[in-house]
Amino acid sequence: MISAYTGTQVRHAEEPLLAAGLGDVLMQRAAHGLAVAVIRELKARGLRVYGSSVAVLTGKGNNGGDGLYAAAFLAARGMRTTAILTADSAHPQALAAFERAGGRVRHLSDAAPGGLAADTARADVVIDAVLGTGAKGGLRGSAAALIAAIAEARTGSAAPGFVVACDLPSGVDADTGEVAQPVLAADLTVTFGAAKAGLLADPGADFSGRVEVVPIGIEENFERPALRRLDDGDIAALLPRPERRAHKYSRGVLGVVAGSADYPGAAVLACRGALAAGVGMVRYLGPPEVADLVRESCPEVVCSTGAAADNRVQAWLVGSGMGPGDHEQLQRARDAVESGLPVVADAGALPALPDALAPHVVLTPHAGELAALLQRLGGDEDRAAVEAGTLAAVRRAAALTGATVLLKGATTLVAAPAGGVFGQSDGTPWLATAGSGDVLAGIIGALLAQLGSDVEHFGKAGVEPGARWAAVAALGAALHGKAGRAASDACLGGPIAAGGIADSLPHVWGKVSTLSNGGIRKRNSHSQPLR
């Protein structure tokens, strides 16, 4: 499990060590980790360390101090280092160390910003150490102008170098992932002590590049993470496995209320997602013409008629491919929610359900649908506002509805109403294709049918009871993302259609389940990339 924290949590975790007078030791560890990551990245790109150039943009706080100490290490390794001081002061000891190591200092206040930006953009490595967890808002004044000019000089030009963010890209909010432009997009973010939640949520994740965590000795001081990500070991541990004497009913039956005359394909894709995700049986309820198509496409599915209450299932999937005029289907969706069984509610069901729900109801809106949901509950967010603050929006929706809320996107966030959030980023942009969400709903429905009643399973895996439904939804999002990626990889990175996600899922499932599943480890820090 990858755990991410807010900037405030990280600062609290640092406090006992700072009180013990170890502030400089922490900074040296952070800076050393940053320098090592830069060297590793240079080598991975086939570039020499000795003689390559590095420009370090530094602010007046400790983030700038990290950057300057790291630059001193890199200067000692023979890199041509320039520090650009963006503020009227700099961390004094770090600046002195940098100058002792032979680095060159330039002051933003003394230089013509255009020339400075052009010089910086040409460096083999640009380190952004202007703002860290102590930032209030985004970059201001001449530092903002400099970063904007560097970002522009790098866009479109065949910039040979790469950008490394120190702790986080300046302008990205460590807690929320909200972005105050201008921000210099990083190829690599080297973050200290633990991942910051804002690096793993959109839009912050757009600017973070690959994220690596450098342990600095504060890892034992963390409490409840602000955001968690299931890694392959967690997925392997959470995947349901049939017992030797399992039968189709003991494995879990999913009832699917999806599709309409206008969107019959959604029912098929939801069923295909569910069938690929290990469910014992799928029962489909819907209009006869849609049921005919479902039978033809997926002969494994048992099509039924009548009310939701007449069909015995362990979980429901409702809403994919349904519109406001599909009264009979919407009534089934409401009945499914009233049944008290776990439900994944997608698309057309979202506006039709009661405002007050429960954690075993998993809502799966995309950003536009989440904005509509929040507006219905009295908010004024539009789609753009949700996209600009995904973490806050998904948390608010879960708190207001009492449901588990999954917000789809490049990073899919799942918020439990009790407070925990998961964020998965396993996919590929090729997943943004019509019907992809229907397959996701099918996968989550199948997992709810198999895992819904197994409270112990999650406890053993380190997931607290209140976050159990969110963990199931995150597991579904992870499998969906990995299946989409595998389908695209099988075409050498080419495009995929939604059905291909379901087709590649069993193989992805098999592959990940062979990984060690020695239980969920709490993993605050690691030198492996997070993504």
Ligand X SMILES: NC(=O)C1=CN([C@@H]2O[C@H](COP(=O)(O)OP(=O)(O)OC[C@H]3O[C@@H](n4cnc5c(N)ncnc54)[C@H](OP(=O)(O)O)[C@@H]3O)[C@@H](O)[C@H]2O)[C@@H](O)CC1
Ligand Y SMILES: Nc1ncnc2c1ncn2[C@@H]1O[C@H](COP(=O)(O)OP(=O)(O)O)[C@@H](O)[C@H]1O
Of 301, 288, 296, the C-alpha closest to 254 is 301
Instruction: Find the shortest distance in angstroms from Cβ 85 to ligand Y.
Output: 38
At 414, which helix (H) or strand (E)? strand 412-415
Instruction: Find the shortest distance in angstroms from Cβ 523 to ligand X.
Output: 19
Of 386, 385, 379, the C-alpha closest to 408 is 386
Binds ligand X by CB under 6 A, chosen from 33, 37, 60, 150: 60
Within 13 Å and on the Cβ side, how many CA atoms surround 118?
Answer: 4
Instruction: Find the shortest distance in angstroms from Cβ 132 to ligand X.
Output: 2
For 167-300, list the strands marked E by DSSP. 188-192, 195-196, 210-214, 227-229, 253-257, 281-285
Contacts to K ion from residues 110-129, by CB under 5 A? 128
Distance between CA atoms of residues 214 and 526, nearest Å: 7
Residue 66 contacts which entry, ligand X, K ion, ligand Y, none (Cβ below 5-8 A, type-dependent): ligand X
Burial of 180 (0-12, 13-18, 19+ CB in 10 A): middle
CB neighbours (10 Å) of residue 225?
Answer: 22
Residue 436 contacts which entry, K ion, ligand Y, ligand X, none (Cβ below 5-8 A, type-dependent): ligand Y
Binding interface with ligand Y (CB under 6 A): 366, 408-410, 412, 427-429, 431-432, 434-438, 440, 480
* Amino acid type, 462: G
Binds ligand X by CB under 6 A, chosen from 3, 6, 133, 260: 133
Instruction: Find the shortest distance in angstroms from Cβ 141 to ligand X.
Output: 8
Stretch that binds ligand X, among 128-136, 263-271, 303-311, 460-468 (CB under 6 A): 128-136
What residue numbers does the annotated binding site for AMP cover? Answer: 408-412, 437
What residue numbers does the annotated binding site cover? Answer: 62-66, 128, 132-138, 167, 170, 266, 321, 366, 408-412, 437-438
- 170 interacts with K ion by CB under 5 A: yes
Stretch that binds ligand X, among 54-62, 204-212, 331-339, 437-445 (CB under 6 A): 54-62
Residue 504 contacts which entry, K ion, ligand Y, ligand X, none (Cβ below 5-8 A, type-dependent): none
Task: Return the DSSP state at 306.
Answer: S
CB neighbours (10 Å) of residue 253?
Answer: 21
Can you tell me whether residue 117 is helix, strand or coil? helix
- 139 interacts with ligand X by CB under 6 A: yes
Distance between CA atoms of residues 62 and 341, nearest Å: 51
- 167 interacts with ligand X by CB under 6 A: yes
- 166 interacts with K ion by CB under 5 A: yes
Binds ligand X by CB under 6 A, chosen from 162, 192, 469, 509: 192
Instruction: Find the shortest distance in angstroms from Cβ 265 to ligand Y.
Output: 10
- 415 interacts with ligand X by CB under 6 A: no
**Sheet with 80-85: strands ordered across:** 104-107, 80-85, 53-58, 125-129, 162-166, 188-192, 210-214
Distance between CA atoms of residues 371 and 377, nearest Å: 10
Binds ligand X by CB under 6 A, chosen from 30, 75, 179, 285: 30
Q: Which residues bind ligand X (CB under 6 A)?
A: 14, 18, 23, 26-27, 30, 59-64, 66, 131-140, 143, 166-167, 192, 216
